Amino acid sequence: MMVYARSARATPVKPLSRQNHSRGTSARTTRRSRPQTPRALLGDEQDKELWNETSLGDAASAVADANDDSLWEHVGASEATPRNAAFSRKSSAQDDVDEDLFADLEETLFKVDRAALQIQKADFTVNSVIDKINRGKVNLRPSYQREYVWTVRTASKLIESLILNIPVPTMFFHETQSGKLEVVDGKQRLTSIWSFIQCEFPDGSPFRLTGLEVYEDLNGLTFTDLHERFQETILDYPLNVHTISRSSQPDFVFEVFERLNMGATQLNEQELRNCIYQGMYTDLLEELVKNENLLKIYRSKTPHLRMRDRELVLRYFAMMRTAPEGFFIPIKSWLNEEMRENKDMTPQDAGDMQASFNRTIKLAYDIFGDCAFRPTSPVGKGKKVTEEDVNGLFFREFFTSGEINVALWDTLMYSLTDVDAKKALEKKSTILAAWINLNNSSEFSKLQVSNPKAVCARQELWQAKLDKILK
């Protein structure tokens, strides 16, 4: 079986293509080409991530309050969202969200090639959508969606709106490659309607109308308790649905998802990738974040709920496939390309990649313990850490309690992939001392930005020291 190994060039390769990598080589390679996204979608982007901004612990948008009593799932739009650190998201003001959203999407559709982004608009009766849900044609619970959070009172107000024929905001579906539809925007609304017709709230309790103000006499009733004319009014209600076709180019689908995702509960970039690039790759990432050594390093018993750990693993494979010379910004596009080009990998490709990751993360843990990929502590001006200083468990005092730093993740994981594990463990103290001293050096501190030049220089500095230790 061929081994998934580091690539020495920046051109795309299949997961099983082995590239001969010459350690310490500084030869630059041509950045691989990638699809160009219209500037109308991206805006002027300057991705200059500060070292501490790439921390795994950077703030991500919180899960919405389960007691949110707002009637609708508002989705907002703003000017282009800054492309910052991989795990950092910034929300926008939510003024006139529905109007802004549709104006923004219309501008997007006008700017791009219609063949690249196809959105079908249609009205479906509640009855027809419920039938599709019951037959499994519409997925109310795609893996990237948040759980149902509406209260019975909030859901009841929606049902009353249907009876009153009050317009309900447009819902967005995404057609998967299998032809099924996933609810991108409108899950709370559609789940409420479906649950009421099933006479059972998502928590398993009977769904009885509560808090109605216009039709107060309907309070306490289930769907089957309603008069036939009310039932028919609900079932015949037209839902406006926009469906993103499966023939749309993934890059543009990603942008639409981001714009729909500018509301109160944002998905981070990896959660968006997980829904757009469904396939063998997403399954592989889901499996690898259960790796016991990664969990120990992450200091957690379970994978991260917001998929930050999956993005770490994705970064490893992207760096392996392109080599540091193939790294480009914005990082979002670099990682999108990695998933898009390899989402339909073969089981053998996935097996080789899994073996490579498991072997490398084990070596990282065996050397650095759960301090792997975390910032180091200053030891004083002009002072150096010796091998004796880091013997046994004493090395832990030279690391901070900070979160995993993705720049350090990239550098260490890439450098450890091809090394002889037995030889590396014999030189454990030497490697630890060298890594700590390098991290505390002024030379290394000057490379505290995530741009292609800094990534290459940082990798070359550490690679040269590691090669000298292991020669």
Range with lowest mean pLDDT among 122-131, 243-252, 357-366: 243-252
Range with lowest mean pLDDT among 43-57, 129-143, 421-435: 43-57
What is the model's pLDDT at position 17? 32
What is the rounded distance in angstroms from the CA atom of residue 469 to the CA atom of residue 433?
11
CB within 8 A of 346, min separation 6: which ones? 16, 280
What is the model's pLDDT at position 359? 98
Residue 392 pLDDT class (50, 70, 90 cuts): confident
Q: Which residue has the tokens 């993360």?
A: 361
Rounded average pLDDT over 126-154? 87
Q: Is the pLDDT of residue 140 over 90?
A: no
Most confident of 84-93, 248-257, 301-310: 301-310
What is the model's pLDDT at position 62? 31
Residue 295 pLDDT class (50, 70, 90 cuts): very high
User: Around Cβ 10, how many Cβ atoms within 10 Å?
Assistant: 21
Q: Output 13 or 307, whichever has higher pLDDT.
A: 307
Residue 41 pLDDT class (50, 70, 90 cuts): very low
What is the model's pLDDT at position 11? 38
CA angle 92, 47, 265 (to 5 degrees): 30
What is the model's pLDDT at position 144? 61
User: What's the DSSP call for residue 138?
Assistant: E
Rounded average pLDDT over 407-426? 95
What is the model's pLDDT at position 154? 95
Range with lowest mean pLDDT among 77-81, 237-241, 326-330: 77-81
Residue 178 pLDDT class (50, 70, 90 cuts): confident
Share of the chain above pLDDT 70, in %: 72
Range with lowest mean pLDDT among 70-79, 143-152, 332-341, 368-377: 70-79
Q: Is the pLDDT of residue 1 over 80?
A: no
Count Cα neighbours of 321 within 13 Å in the Cβ-side half-sphere: 24
- Domain boundary assignment for the chain: 64-260, 269-470
| CB 367 within 8 Å of CB 422 | no
Q: Which two tokens stand for residue 229?
A: 């004319």
Residue 457 pLDDT class (50, 70, 90 cuts): very high
Strands (E), 103-186: 119-125, 138-139, 171-175, 181-185
Handedness of CA 82, 87, 93, 97 (dihedral sign): positive
Express each pLDDT in 311-368 by its tens digit. 999 999 999 999 888 888 889 999 999 999 998 899 999 999 999 999 999 999 999 9
Exposed (0-12), middle (13-18) or buried (19+): which is 177, by Cβ within 10 Å?
exposed
User: From edge to edge, which strands make up the β-sheet containing 238-244?
Assistant: 119-125, 238-244, 171-175, 181-185, 138-139
Q: Is the pLDDT of residue 80 over 80?
A: no
Q: Which residue has the tokens 């200091």?
A: 299
Most confident of 86-95, 228-237, 261-270, 303-312: 228-237
Express each pLDDT in 196-224 by its tens digit. 999 999 999 999 999 999 999 999 999 99
Express each pLDDT in 218-231 by its tens digit. 999 999 999 999 99
Strands (E), 163-271: 171-175, 181-185, 238-244
What's the mean pLDDT when you consider all of the chain? 77
What is the model's pLDDT at position 306? 86
